[in-house]
């Protein structure tokens, strides 16, 4: 049952990605190894949206390491079904850190069996395009998995998740799978464990940076960031990355919506004003701005279809099925055009 739930959600979200985003461009899928365990290492700019994207687009099952405070309670069955394992941090209590030993041992075995694991190497999510300094967590996990299974191939897979906008739906998504690191081939027997882990981390940092539009927080970062918008992200990943690096001054800046655009968006707000107001109320409960895109993604995938279904039933009973279909169709079309107008 849990396997059915996992793959059911996987393929629903794979389809839904092309609704939430204006365009989904995937690069380097041929780089994914097929002869060993893969530890996916994506950048982390979208809260729980990031693992949902990786899990829905990659083949097979992916076990995700997730912060421990989301576990327990009525959602535990779903967390288990979706292959999530808790990771305990010092803020969860020093005594809980020991629980990580069993979790990591399980990850070593999964990788040794040729299965897939995902861990965010930046250590925490954020709301900027640049790549933060990587923690040693994923490199240590890959190294120890290789040490525990010396005859197996284990890979560190760099991934770049590049959002055309960090909060707005219908932006373009560029997902880049970089050149994988074969862990065993990089380990040097004459070096200590700590030195080998540092070598893996540095190599992973470089390969992840190659998968991102704007990986460095340099003196021109803010100006370059303004060049990532609904116009420039229509380019392919490599062209946009090179232009941002060498010729960014000639690129158009982001232009916030004009007064007329906002007025038109307000008119388009009317058919879906109830679910939009409820969504806004829910999203405003999150103080962390990084959760905005994740919540919009989740609400669009589940809450809006349920709202339209229930509204359709009520309207069919009160009026007719034709009226219900007209309302649902009008709501969907105006919602799409509203998001298109507001994207910049």
Q: What is the pLDDT of residues 147-170, one digit of tens each?
A: 999 999 999 999 999 999 999 999
Which helix (H) or strand (E) element contains residue 13?
Answer: helix 2-20
User: How many angstroms separate the CA atoms of 24 and 27, rounded?
Assistant: 10
pLDDT of 130 > 60? The answer is yes
Phi, psi of 191 (to 5 degrees): -105, 160
Q: pLDDT band at residue 75, thresholds of 50, 70 and 90?
A: low
Mean pLDDT of the chain: 92
Q: Of 111, 78, 95, which is closest to residue 6 (Cα–Cα)?
A: 78
Q: Tell me which DSSP letter residue 192 carries.
A: -
Residues 238/224, Cβ–Cβ less than 8 Å: no
For residue 220, CA distances in Å to 37, 214, 249, 250 come to 39, 11, 10, 14
Q: pLDDT band at residue 123, thresholds of 50, 70 and 90?
A: confident
Q: What is the pLDDT of residues 302-340, one digit of tens each?
A: 999 999 999 999 999 999 999 999 999 999 999 999 999
Q: What is the pLDDT of residues 168-190, one digit of tens each?
A: 999 999 999 999 999 999 999 99
The distance in angstroms from the start CA to the end CA of the chain is: 42
Residues 264/341, Cβ–Cβ less than 8 Å: yes
Within the chain, which residue ranges are assigned CATH 3.40.1130.10? Answer: 2-214
User: How many angstroms separate the CA atoms of 129 and 131, rounded?
Assistant: 7
Q: Cα-Cα-Cα-Cα dihedral of 118, 121, 123, 126, to 10°?
A: -90
Give DSSP secondary structure letters for 133-177: PPPSHHHHHHHHHHHH-TTS-EEEEEEEEEES-SS-TT-EEEEEE
* 3-state DSSP percent of the chain in helix, strand and coil, to 5: 55, 10, 30
Asked which of 80-94, 203-217, 234-248, 262-276 is least confident by mean pLDDT, the reply is: 80-94
User: How many angstroms separate the CA atoms of 113 and 196, rounded?
Assistant: 22
Q: Of 87, 94, 257, which is closest to residue 168 (Cα–Cα)?
A: 257
Residues 137/178, Cβ–Cβ less than 8 Å: no
Q: What is the pLDDT of residues 38-65, one digit of tens each?
A: 999 999 998 889 999 999 999 999 998 8
Q: pLDDT band at residue 242, thresholds of 50, 70 and 90?
A: very high
User: How many angstroms separate the CA atoms of 287 and 296, rounded?
Assistant: 15
Q: What is the pLDDT of residues 256-286, one digit of tens each?
A: 899 999 999 999 999 999 999 999 999 999 8
Residues 120/160, Cβ–Cβ less than 8 Å: no
For tokens 């059911």, name the residue: 8
In 3-state terms, what secondary structure has residue 23? strand
pLDDT of 76 > 70? The answer is no
Q: The domain 2-214 is classified under which CATH number: 3.40.1130.10, 3.40.50.620, 3.40.50.720, 3.60.21.10? A: 3.40.1130.10
User: How many angstroms separate the CA atoms of 241 and 212, rounded?
Assistant: 7
Beta bridge partners of 86: 66
Residues 86/103, Cβ–Cβ less than 8 Å: yes
């Amino acid at each position: 049952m849990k396997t059915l739930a996992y793959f059911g959600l996987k393929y629903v979200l794979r389809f839904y990605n092309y609704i939430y985003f204006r365009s989904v461009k995937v690069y380097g899928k041929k780089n994914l190894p097929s002869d060993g365990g893969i530890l996916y290492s994506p950048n982390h700019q979208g809260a729980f949206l990031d693992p949902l994207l990786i899990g829905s687009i990659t083949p097979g099952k992916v076990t995700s390491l997730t912060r421990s405070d989301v576990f327990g309670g009525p959602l535990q069955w779903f967390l288990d079904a979706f292959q999530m394992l808790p990771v305990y941090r010092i803020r969860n209590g020093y005594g809980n850190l020991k629980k990580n030993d069993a979790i990591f041992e399980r990850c070593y075995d999964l990788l040794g069996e040729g299965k897939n694991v995902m861990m965010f190497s930046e250590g925490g999510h954020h709301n900027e395009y640049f790549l933060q300094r990587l923690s040693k967590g994923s490199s240590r996990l890959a190294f120890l998995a290789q040490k525990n299974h010396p005859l197996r191939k284990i890979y560190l897979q760099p991934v770049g998740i590049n959002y055309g906008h960090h909060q707005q739906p219908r932006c373009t998504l560029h997902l880049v799978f970089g050149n994988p690191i074969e862990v065993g081939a990089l380990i040097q027997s004459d070096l200590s464990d700590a030195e080998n882990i540092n070598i893996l981390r540095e190599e992973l940092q470089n390969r992840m940076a190659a998968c991102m539009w704007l990986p460095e927080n340099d003196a021109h970062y803010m100006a370059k960031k303004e060049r990532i918008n609904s116009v420039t992200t229509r380019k392919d990943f490599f062209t946009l990355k090179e232009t941002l690096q060498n010729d960014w001054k000639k690129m158009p800046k982001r232009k916030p919506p004009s007064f007329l655009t906002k007025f038109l968006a307000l008119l388009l707000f009317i058919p879906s004003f109830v679910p939009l107001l409820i969504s806004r109320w829910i999203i405003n409960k999150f103080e962390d701005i990084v959760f905005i895109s994740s919540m919009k993604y989740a609400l669009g995938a589940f809450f809006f279809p349920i709202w339209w279904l229930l509204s359709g039933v009520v309207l069919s009973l009160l009026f007719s099925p034709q009226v219900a279909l007209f309302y649902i169709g009008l709501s969907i079309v105006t919602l799409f055009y509203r998001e298109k107008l507001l994207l910049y």
